[in-house]
Amino acid sequence: MENRMEIYNSLTKKVERFVPNEDGKVGMYTCGPTVYHFAHIGNLRSYIMEDILEKTLRYLGYDVKRVMNITDVGHLSGDSDDGEDKMLAGARREHKTVMEIAAFYTEAFFEDCRKLYIKRPDVVEPATGCIKEFIHMVQVLLEKGYAYEMGGNVYFDTAKLENYHVFSGQTEEELLVGVRDDVEEDTNKKNKSDFVLWFTKSKFDAQELKWESPWGMGYPGWHIECSSISIKHLGEYMDIHCGGVDNIFPHHTNEIAQSEAYLGHKWCNYWFHVHHLNDKTGKMSKSKGEFLTVSLLEEKGYNPLVYRLFCLQSHYRKPLTFSYEALDNMTAAYNKLVKRIADLKEEGEVEQDKYAAYKERFADALCDDLNSAMAITVLYDMLKEDMTDKTKLALAQSFEEVLSLGLFDSKEKEADPELERYVLERIEERKAAKKAKDFATADAIRAELLSKGIVLEDTREGVKWKKA
Ligand code: AMP
Ligand code: ZN
């Protein structure tokens, strides 16, 4: 098939034509969440833009296989081999076991994704399910001379590579992660940039999760999981690997080091990185105390899909600053857009030439380094165009495959007036129950509707509903 997508590749620092290894097929890998806490809306910016990438590739006709890991072991707060184990800190904070924390926050992550219309990847693999594969990879790296045992741990020897820092343009500060003044230097390491593949001796006495290995009871480093899980499901050659820009170093740098040393050849051709969401004080992060979640936005009355639109209106390679004011403006724009689509009638015939021309324009925008804001402009232009409502509806439906903004949610309701009447009645009953402080009844009504596939949202403008 024709390869027409141009995408920025962090590896070459250029916008390049995207050409997968196998004609018409794409193997795509996404670094999944570390499930020690809720995802903040910054994390979710990355997943929204990766979702747009995946859906664009499908829109263009590729057969995409997307794999995501769930980090439930091994990720230390310093991203390098320093700091606290994030999962352990989460378990302590909530007086639960690590696996309880992992199960709860994995579920919460996918619930957020559902609200943001982010498609679930074809394969989702928790790190703790692949320990055998990690051990095998570490063994091969030892056999090939790319790794060494020291002080009980197994390290990757970065001096064995000609080009460890494959992503150029890193700042000195980034290169010095792990050797900051406040970090105790690991004297086991032969080179400062070496990193742990397998821990047996660690400063975490209370480490709950440990497995038998040829090097003693221990647990894997964070980076090995993504190399191993992606190779397990996508084979030796991967097309595109995604993550937030903070993953470039050390995480993705180390993934490349291990994977290519293990495989003996180039591994992944394209690297897609989403820039950060910031708040007024800087990069949004989970360690900053109170952080912004999808549920918090909902509590404040915002529709999560308005946040999705907010993300799509800006380019994924630019930092984006969050503010409630911006979200208020976006809410107004969103409501207008949805109303315009709801007002379209099933009238006239689809004008095939216009339909095809607009689809082209839409695909062109996305093929231009995933210019999602331009794709939305095409949607607005199309709605203004002199053509039949039926053509507009068909186009909006087609664009929705990628944008996933819930453009038809209100139309769906119209299509089933009986259901609409029933849901509105139940919403009123729930309102009355809440007023009477009968929260059990209110919750029961919500649960009953949910069992029928109806989700209620408490927003500023009152209770809204949609199909799950
Ligand atoms: P974590 O759960 O910390 O492993 O992060 C999940 C994903 O979110 C990774 O791809 C990170 O690179 C990304 N990420 C972290 N912080 C931000 C942020 N402020 N804005 C956008 N993406 C982020
Ligand atoms: Zn990863």
- How many whole angstroms separate alpha carbon 265 and alpha carbon 236? 9
Q: For the residues 189-201, what does the mean pLDDT come to?
A: 91
- How many whole angstroms separate alpha carbon 164 and alpha carbon 257? 6
> Average pLDDT, whole number, for the chain?
91
Q: What is the per-residue pLDDT for 398? A: 98
Structure token pair of residue 383? 């709605």
Q: Which ligand is nearest to the CA of 287?
A: 1
Which range is least confidently modeled, 77-91, 304-318, 368-382, 388-402? 77-91
Q: Which atom in ligand 1 lies closest to the alpha carbon of residue 46? A: 22
Q: Is the pLDDT of residue 170 over 80?
A: no
Structure token pair of residue 46? 């990355």
Q: Where in 185-291 does DSSP place strands (E)?
A: 195-199, 219-220, 238-244, 268-274, 277-279, 282-283
Is 30 near ligand 1, meaning CB less than 6 Å away? Answer: no
Q: Specify the amino acid at residue 353.
A: D
pTM: 0.87
Is 46 near ligand 1, meaning CB less than 6 Å away? Answer: yes
Distances (CA, A) of 128 to 102, 131, 198: 10, 6, 13
Structure token pair of residue 232? 């397990």
If you measure from the C-alpha of residue 383 to the centroid of ligand 1, how many angstroms do you get, rounded to a whole number?
A: 35
Residue with CA nearest ligand 1 atom 6: 33
Read off the pLDDT of residues 99-135 as tens digits, 9 standing for 90 and up: 999 999 999 999 999 999 999 999 999 999 999 999 9
Please report where in the chains the tokens 């809204």 appear, as a residue: 464
Cα torsion 394, 395, 398, 400 to 10°: value is: -110
Q: Which ligand is nearest to the CA of 69?
A: 2
Q: What is the per-residue pLDDT for 74? A: 75
Is 317 near ligand 1, meaning CB less than 6 Å away? Answer: no
Residue 465 contacts residue 423 (beta carbons within 8 Å): yes
Given ligand 1 and candidates 46, 86, 113, 307, which is best to mutate, with the most ligand atoms within 8 Å of its CB?
Answer: 46
Q: Which ligand is nearest to the CA of 275?
A: 1
Q: What is the per-residue pLDDT for 174? A: 53
If you measure from the C-alpha of residue 12 to the centroid of ligand 1, how many angstroms do you get, rounded to a whole number?
A: 22
- How many whole angstroms separate alpha carbon 127 and alpha carbon 139? 18
Read off the pLDDT of residues 286-344 as tens digits, 9 standing for 90 and up: 766 668 999 999 999 999 999 999 999 999 999 999 999 999 999 999 999 999 999 99
If you measure from the C-alpha of residue 125 to the centroid of ligand 2, how many angstroms do you get, rounded to a whole number?
A: 12
Q: What is the per-residue pLDDT for 179? A: 44
If you measure from the C-alpha of residue 193 to the centroid of ligand 1, how many angstroms do you get, rounded to a whole number?
A: 22
Residue with CA nearest ligand 1 atom 14: 43
Q: Is the pLDDT of residue 194 over 60?
A: yes
Read off the DSSP letter of residue 413.
H
Read off the DSSP letter of residue 217.
S
- How many whole angstroms separate alpha carbon 377 and alpha carbon 74? 43
Residue with CA nearest ligand 1 atom 7: 43
Please report where in the chains the tokens 């962090």 appear, as a residue: 10
Q: For the residues 377-391, what does the mean pLDDT come to?
A: 97
Q: Is the pLDDT of residue 181 over 50?
A: no
Is 43 near ligand 1, meaning CB less than 6 Å away? Answer: yes
Given ligand 1 and candidates 10, 37, 43, which is best to mutate, with the most ligand atoms within 8 Å of its CB?
Answer: 43
Read off the pLDDT of residues 13-35 as tens digits, 9 standing for 90 and up: 999 999 999 999 999 999 999 99
Q: Which atom in ligand 1 lies closest to the alpha carbon of residue 43? A: 8
- How many whole angstroms separate alpha carbon 124 and alpha carbon 130? 12
Is 34 near ligand 1, meaning CB less than 6 Å away? Answer: yes
